[in-house]
Chain A
Amino acid sequence: MSGRAITTPRHRRPLRALWLAALLSAGLPSPAEAQIGTVVVRSPRPFGLFVGDRFAATVEIEAAEGFAPQAASLPKPGPLTAWLDLTRVAVAPGPVRDGNRLWRLSLTYQTFYAALDVRRLDVPAFAVTFASEAPRATTSAVAEVPGWPISVSPLREIQPPPVADPVEYMRPEGASPRRDPAVPRTLAGGFAASALAGLALLARDRAWWPFRHRPARAFAAAWRQVRRLAARRDAEAAYREALLALHRGLDRTDGRRVMGEDLAGFLARHPAYGALAQPLDRFFAASRDAFFGRDPSAAQRTCPFPDLVATARRLAAAERAARGGGAA
């Protein structure tokens, strides 16, 4: 409690007065040290420390304008005593008031004191040398920073005294604020709706269910069928069915039956597939061999099954590119 008095002096006026008096007596201006004003140590939590805890302290030193702390005189991070380490030191200039500048030293300590009971320990005092920054000046002053007490506690459980009704020890839970569920619910609904809409758009674009049979996605359906057929074992029958699937895709795209002689007209009516003129030509040649030729096996030499699958895939991609955005 006493440490907190240092950090929040407005609440504990008598204590602050006491401390300041102590500090002032420590840093009483001697002729050589007239340049150093008050030295205040602020320790936000000097109590309740267990072994291994870090704690911070801020030291505020008023020094005459033109004086700055010598880096070499600052305390060095490292072990200070058997039980105390300094882990971090930082110094920063503060505001100027009445010709004096306020210097702030931020210190972080770590205690290794394995206390067996609650006890008071003193952080060792140290001194900081301030030197004049004027060129070729040799004047220096020393600010004495007094030690301050901390209170360490043992790592031991506290056994509450047994009572008849342990409910006594139960404490009501902190009241949690009641939040309005309407806004999150609306948001969740909105996000779900937009996600579904996005999914629907994607499904439409890719001609997934329930848009499988869109007339504008004839090649997507054909490509699905060809891909499924490619995995089948009886290659000959699967090949013929794949040819038929592509024929139906062409028919549905054009709205009429497309035969080999119509390929040029088809490409003129649907320029999106112009890049596929050659594969389509081979497809029709293979289809003729397979269905109408004397030697159906010639078809697979003209257009092997993998080529057929690739043609179907490219047709589906061209269709999607051409009719993307639903502009079918």
Chain B
Amino acid sequence: MNQIRPTDTALTDWRQAALRFEAEIAKAVIGQERAIRLVTIAIFARGHVLLEGDVGVGKTTLLRAVARALGGAYERVEGTVDMMPSDLITHTYLAEDGRPRIEPGPVLRRSEDLSVFFFNEINRARPQVHSLMLRLMAERSVQAFNREYRFPHLQVFADRNRVEREETFELPAAARDRFLMEIGLEAPTDPGLRRRLAFDPLFHDTDALVAGIAPDVIDQASVAGIAAALQHGIHASPALEEYVVRLWAAIREPAQAGIALPDVAMEALVQGGASPRGVAFLIRAARVRAWLEGRDMLLPEDLRAVFAETMAHRIFLEPVYEMRRERIVPALCRAVLDTVPAP
């Protein structure tokens, strides 16, 4: 396997830092190596992440651990049904002198420094809030107090539990497309890990757990530069480009690619999605994965490793299948990867 060329020593050093970052997170969040790896990929691909999972599987712990190890300014909001966009941007209150005051809200408070914005239970917020998030995520800027605030280092981590459906607002397609990845989090199945999670007092106190992580393993301010460098440093060959085009075609037209799923009319399954932005995100994430694996070339394995997380939430099904989405889309992703020849 080709190693990173010695001239790219900065990339090699950063890779060590990234692996150290993963090791730190793994101290607090056990049995979630895959999710940790995907979050790391998202950080170095400069993408936003939506975490999904049952209640209490460690979504919030993972994100708090990431925020601590990542360094940089960190803000956190909880989604509620009565939250309005202005609640994110401004903080309105009555001062001691009895007069109303308006100050910058959670998003603006740290202004340029803000690097991790953690939106808990994003599906409880209203569509108005989602559309603010849309702009924040896509352009890393927001209009307030008659001027534009820019957040060059901003990375949004959101989570959403998939158990409750009452009083929730499904994220619009455009907002979901802005997320680089949707990572599903499951409780570990290994009995040893489960015993530890249940009995080890370390895991009962989340604050102490997160405090045990070395802070600022990665310098968030320089991630943007290194992310751009590694996107140029990882080679994608013509054969791989063809593979991506074939994958893309197969996910848009699964019937023509010869994919068949049980109880699904393949001609009328996919309504849209798998946008060019989505495929670009896929390549970005795959390049980061290749770099983390110590390679200077992009392989189909890298695409496969991030395919479901980057593509699944961008595939929009016909309404008749949308209710069964949680079973159909992963199966479709798996079938596409199993069908499209590589190389």
For chain B, the count of residues having a C-beta within 8 Å of the partner chain is 21
Q: Interface residue tally of chain A, by bracket? A: 10 to 19
B1 engages A292 (CB within 8 Å): no
Shortest A266–chain B CB gap in Å is 13
Q: Which of A89-97, A243-251, A303-311 contacts B (4 or more CB under 8 A)?
A: A243-251
B343 engages A244 (CB within 8 Å): yes
B237 engages A257 (CB within 8 Å): no
- For A243, what are the chain B residues with a Cβ–Cβ distance below 8 Å? 343
Q: Return the chain B residue nearest A293 by Cβ.
A: B297
Is B235 an interface residue when CB atoms closer than 8 A count as contact? Answer: yes
Q: Which of A55-63, A103-111, A283-291 contacts B (4 or more CB under 8 A)?
A: A283-291
Q: Return the chain A residue nearest B2 by Cβ.
A: A293
A260 engages B239 (CB within 8 Å): no
- For A244, what are the chain B residues with a Cβ–Cβ distance below 8 Å? 343
A255, A256, A259, A289: the one within 8 Å of B301 (CB): A259
- For B338, what are the chain A residues with a Cβ–Cβ distance below 8 Å? 255-257
Is A261 an interface residue when CB atoms closer than 8 A count as contact? Answer: yes
- For A259, what are the chain B residues with a Cβ–Cβ distance below 8 Å? 299-301, 304, 342
Interface string of A250-285 (1 = CB under 8 A from B): 010001110111000000000000000000000001
Interface string of B50-64 (1 = CB under 8 A from A): 000000000000000
Is A294 an interface residue when CB atoms closer than 8 A count as contact? Answer: yes
A257 engages B301 (CB within 8 Å): no
Shortest A133–chain B CB gap in Å is 98
A261 engages B301 (CB within 8 Å): yes
- For B299, what are the chain A residues with a Cβ–Cβ distance below 8 Å? 259-260, 288, 292
A163-196 interface (Cβ within 8 A of B): none
How many Å lie between the Cα of A293 and that of B235 in the bound state?
A: 7
Shortest A100–chain B CB gap in Å is 101
B297 engages A285 (CB within 8 Å): no
B235 engages A291 (CB within 8 Å): no
Interface string of B261-302 (1 = CB under 8 A from A): 000000000000000000000000000000000001111110
Main SS class of interface, A: helix
Is B6 an interface residue when CB atoms closer than 8 A count as contact? Answer: no
How many Å lie between the Cα of A285 and that of B295 in the bound state?
A: 12
Is B171 an interface residue when CB atoms closer than 8 A count as contact? Answer: no
Given contacts A260-B299, A285-B1, are A292 and B341 in contact (CB under 8 A)?
no
Is B226 an interface residue when CB atoms closer than 8 A count as contact? Answer: no
Shortest B242–chain A CB gap in Å is 9
- For A248, what are the chain B residues with a Cβ–Cβ distance below 8 Å? 341
A292 engages B337 (CB within 8 Å): no
How many Å lie between the Cα of A248 and that of B339 in the bound state?
A: 11
Q: Return the chain B residue nearest A261 by Cβ.
A: B301
Q: Return the chain B residue nearest A258 by Cβ.
A: B342
How many Å lie between the Cα of A260 and that of B2 in the bound state?
A: 14
A291 engages B301 (CB within 8 Å): no
Shortest B180–chain A CB gap in Å is 22
How many Å lie between the Cα of A289 and that of B237 in the bound state?
A: 10
Is B240 an interface residue when CB atoms closer than 8 A count as contact? Answer: yes
Shortest B243–chain A CB gap in Å is 9
Shortest B258–chain A CB gap in Å is 13
A257 engages B337 (CB within 8 Å): yes
How many Å lie between the Cα of A244 and that of B300 in the bound state?
A: 14
Give A contacts to B, CB under 8 Å: 243-244, 247-248, 251, 255-257, 259-261, 285, 287-289, 291-294
A-B contact pairs, 19 of them (CB 8 A): A244-B343, A251-B341, A255-B338, A257-B300, A257-B340, A259-B299, A259-B301, A259-B304, A260-B299, A285-B1, A288-B297, A291-B237, A291-B239, A292-B235, A292-B236, A292-B239, A292-B300, A293-B2, A294-B235
